Amino acid sequence: MIVDRAVPAAARLALEQSGLHPILARVLAARGVRGPEELSTDLAGMLSPALLKGTDEAAILLADAIEAEAAMLVIADYDCDGATACAVAVRGLRMMGARVDYLVPNRFETGYGLTPEIVALALDHPRLGSPDLLITVDNGIASVDGAQAAQDAGLALLITDHHLPGPALPLADAIVNPNAGGCTFPSKAIAGVGVMFYVLIALRAELRRRSLHGGEAPLARLLDLVALGTVADVVRLDANNRLMVAQGLSRIRSGRAQPGLLALFAIAGREPRTASAQDLGFTVGPRINAAGRLADMSVGIECLLTDDPAQAQHLAASLDAINRQRREVERTMQEEALTSLAETPAPERRVIVLSDPGWHQGVVGLVAGKLKERFHRPVVALAPAGETYRGSGRSIPGVHLRDCLDLVSKRLPNAIVRFGGHAMAAGLTLRTEALEAFRTALDQAVADLSDPAVFHRQHETDGELDPALADDRLIDALEGPVWGQGFAVPSFHSEFQVLAQRAVGTGHLKLTLRNARSGNTRSGSIDAIWFGRAEPAPDRLHAIWQPVRNTWQGRSKIELQILHAESAG
């Protein structure tokens, strides 16, 4: 069902009176923007680190360690948020005189986060030796056993994370997590890389207070990495996140990004001068993520850390090759998943739980995400891992996946070995023999904690719009803000008559459309592309679309990108 977003009249008027394009004013008001001041991308508008609980303690801990020339070891995570957070930590701390290196868990050998096994590896780090201080990035808030192991080994511990905590917090010298108890930081949606960036800002202020080297460190140079990790982790782009992403994109467009990031744009055939959040989320981010899914995330981290353009190109090429392999593995697994679902219609399920003995642990989350989009149901995909399954889940709005897993863990106390995550995505380790009981219990938990209405898919748009209004001025206006999760790319809907259509590429449709309300002549036609549509379109469509510029051989024209369409009879 196609529905229009509600548009608060007062906000729309205030935005329009500030000089914004009327359609952009309508779009922004529908996303909760109340006035032009909320659109500022000036760094002075960032939320203060003082609002983020634990940053003062973290800054003192790190400043003391720098003064003592202590050895610091960053414990990273194996996704893009974790990789960028690690690169931000290492680069930023080195700017301020720290002796620091990193260690990233291997998804298949040591599992997620700060485990006792990771602490053991940290004590014999190949480059650093035995550290004095461990710093987690994008993980650690649920690492009770790992934190205890660090304490037993005599190591100081700083936890920086953004995930939801478990029933007990780990023992640490400092914890910085906006979602931990008692923190009133307004941006609960900040990514792990953003949390670490805030810690560095607080550290710089502490070093400045002590009149130490590093008090003037140019931390803004790290904002390209903050932008990449924020977008790739699909966190909600609230005003603070949009500001940091906008600043990072500005650096990329001006050629001031890290060599590894520029190399990843080049290997993907993208132009940094026109970089968008979509480039970060769908082009660069997947190449970093692929390393953690199929190989060793240290390849991705090294790409983001190197200052040598030649080395950056070599590492970017390696990441691109891994990503091509990842796409093939994902395609095979998705075909197998669809085959296994064929006997039971997915709409009859509240949640889909799938497993296969040949599936790859690193790719199950991507398969879950694709199936979630296809069937509009929460999906958990599981792969074998010794005597257990390791799985990843993706959810739909209105179904809090982590809360559902928490309820299952209480009802089946011996089934889930561990789990974690948030509303829209979660990971878990499940005892093999508990699979069927888990499937049933999770379905019941979803039913108990969710409104049945959330399972009826709605396609939100920014209202009906005459495609004749999709001109260069509108596209320029829509290209200004940063769009992404929780701040959706604008889309509109119209009824069209299909004047012509032909298949192009591998499963796409090229269309010539006319606004069905404009009469019966061919005048006023507009070209459109419908990606992923293999079968012919009906003669009349009610379509959701976005205006885009199609540039070919130096010439640009406006066309529509069809996002969803239903027969209009």
- Joined tokens for residue 277: 């959040």
**CATH at 450:** 3.10.310.30
Residues 210 and 64: their CA atoms lie apart, in Å, by 10
Say if residues 550 and 504 touch (Cβ distance below 8 Å). Answer: no
pLDDT in tens, 429-444: 999 999 999 999 999 9
Domain co-membership, 442 together with 470: no
Say if residues 90 and 131 touch (Cβ distance below 8 Å). Answer: no
Q: Is residue 18 part of a domain?
A: no
Can you list the positions of beta strands (E) in 450-519?
459-461, 492-504, 508-515
User: Which pLDDT score, from 0 to 100, does residue 522 have?
Assistant: 45
With a cut of 80, say whether residue 323 has pLDDT above it. Answer: yes
User: Which pLDDT score, from 0 to 100, does residue 523 have?
Assistant: 52
With a cut of 60, say whether residue 345 has pLDDT above it. Answer: no
For residue 142, which amino acid is it? A
Q: What is the pTM of this model?
A: 0.93
Average pLDDT over residues 136-158: 97
> Checking DSSP bridges between strand 459-461 and strand 71-75, what pairing results, if any?
unpaired
Q: Is residue 45 part of a domain?
A: no
Say if residues 392 and 427 touch (Cβ distance below 8 Å). Answer: yes
Say if residues 528 and 492 touch (Cβ distance below 8 Å). Answer: no
Q: In whole angstroms, how far apart are CA 337 and each of 329, 330, 349, 436, 441?
A: 12, 10, 15, 17, 21
Can you list the positions of beta strands (E) in 367-472?
379-385, 388-394, 416-421, 425-431, 459-461
Domain co-membership, 183 together with 284: yes
Domain co-membership, 554 together with 509: yes
pLDDT in tens, 516-543: 877 544 457 999 999 989 899 999 999 9
**CB contact set of 434 (below 8 Å; sequence gap of 6+):** 412, 414, 415, 416
The vertex-430 CA angle with 327 and 412, nearest 5°, equals 140
User: Which pLDDT score, from 0 to 100, does residue 286 have?
Assistant: 97
Token look-up 């640009």 returns 556
pLDDT in tens, 90-132: 999 999 999 999 999 988 888 789 999 999 999 999 999 999 9
Domain co-membership, 189 together with 111: yes
Say if residues 235 and 229 touch (Cβ distance below 8 Å). Answer: no
User: Which pLDDT score, from 0 to 100, does residue 287 have?
Assistant: 97
Dihedral class, residue 497 (left if φ above 0, else alpha if ψ from -120 to 50, else beta):
beta
Of 284, 302, 319, the one marking the end of a domain is 319
Domain co-membership, 505 together with 430: no
Closest C-alpha to 54, from 147, 146, 169 = 169
Q: Is residue 489 part of a domain?
A: yes
User: Which pLDDT score, from 0 to 100, does residue 106 have?
Assistant: 86
Q: What is the dihedral of CA 454, 455, 459, 463, to 10 degrees?
A: -40
Domain co-membership, 173 together with 273: yes
Q: Is residue 12 part of a domain?
A: no
Closest C-alpha to 404, from 377, 379, 423, 432 = 423
Domain co-membership, 479 together with 509: yes
pLDDT in tens, 280-290: 999 999 999 99
Say if residues 433 and 414 touch (Cβ distance below 8 Å). Answer: no
Number of domains making up the chain: 3
Q: What is the dihedral of CA 154, 160, 161, 164, to 10 degrees?
A: 70
User: Which pLDDT score, from 0 to 100, does residue 542 have?
Assistant: 96
Of 455, 471, 496, the one marking the end of a domain is 455
pLDDT in tens, 353-400: 999 999 999 999 999 999 999 999 999 999 999 999 999 999 999 999
Average pLDDT over residues 418-425: 88
> Checking DSSP bridges between strand 492-504 and strand 508-515, what pairing results, if any?
antiparallel
Closest C-alpha to 379, from 452, 478, 326, 446 = 446
Domain co-membership, 201 together with 265: yes
Average confidence score pLDDT of the chain: 94
Counting beta carbons within 10 angstroms of the beta carbon of residue 314, is it exposed (0 to 12), middle (13 to 18) or buried (19 or more)?
middle
- SS3 state at 194: helix
Say if residues 464 and 494 touch (Cβ distance below 8 Å). Answer: yes
Closest C-alpha to 178, from 26, 324, 51, 89 = 51
Domain co-membership, 443 together with 492: no
Residues 183 and 177: their CA atoms lie apart, in Å, by 8
Band of residue 349 on the pLDDT scale cut at 50, 70, 90: confident
Can you list the positions of beta strands (E) in 319-415?
352-355, 379-385, 388-394
With a cut of 60, say whether residue 318 has pLDDT above it. Answer: yes
Token look-up 């560095």 returns 200
> Checking DSSP bridges between strand 156-160 and strand 133-137, what pairing results, if any?
parallel
Of 251, 284, 319, the one marking the end of a domain is 319
Domain co-membership, 190 together with 73: yes
HSE value, Cβ hemisphere, 13 Å, CA-based, for 118: 29
**CB contact set of 563 (below 8 Å; sequence gap of 6+):** 459, 491, 543, 544, 545, 546
Residues 252 and 222: their CA atoms lie apart, in Å, by 11
Token look-up 């380790």 returns 429
Domain co-membership, 451 together with 464: no
Closest C-alpha to 53, from 209, 195, 235 = 195
Band of residue 564 on the pLDDT scale cut at 50, 70, 90: very high
Can you list the positions of beta strands (E) in 256-378?
352-355
- Joined tokens for residue 114: 């700060």
User: Which pLDDT score, from 0 to 100, does residue 519 have?
Assistant: 56
- Joined tokens for residue 231: 């977008």
With a cut of 80, say whether residue 344 has pLDDT above it. Answer: no
Question: What does residue 358 show for φ and ψ, rounded to 5 degrees?
Answer: -100, 5
pLDDT in tens, 464-519: 999 999 999 999 999 999 999 999 999 999 999 999 999 998 889 999 999 987 75
Closest C-alpha to 422, from 348, 495, 485, 494 = 485
Residues 294 and 472: their CA atoms lie apart, in Å, by 42
Q: Is residue 4 part of a domain?
A: no
Closest C-alpha to 171, from 195, 196, 146 = 146
Q: Is residue 335 part of a domain?
A: no
Q: Which residue has the higher pLDDT, 453 or 346?
A: 453
**CB contact set of 86 (below 8 Å; sequence gap of 6+):** 74, 76, 77, 102, 104, 137, 301, 304
Residues 405 and 183: their CA atoms lie apart, in Å, by 24
CA–centroid distance for 217 within its chain: 28
Residues 151 and 252: their CA atoms lie apart, in Å, by 41
Domain co-membership, 227 together with 366: no
User: Which pLDDT score, from 0 to 100, does residue 466 have?
Assistant: 93
Helix, strand, coil percent content, the chain, rounded in steps of 5: 45, 20, 35
Domain that holds residue 88: 60-319
**CATH at 309:** 3.90.1640.30
Q: Is residue 69 part of a domain?
A: yes
With a cut of 60, say whether residue 173 has pLDDT above it. Answer: yes
Q: Is residue 355 part of a domain?
A: yes
- SS3 state at 461: strand
For residue 318, which amino acid is it? S
End-to-end CA distance of the chain: 15
Q: In whole angstroms, how far apart are CA 511 and each of 220, 498, 541?
A: 44, 7, 11
pLDDT in tens, 241-263: 999 999 999 999 999 999 999 99
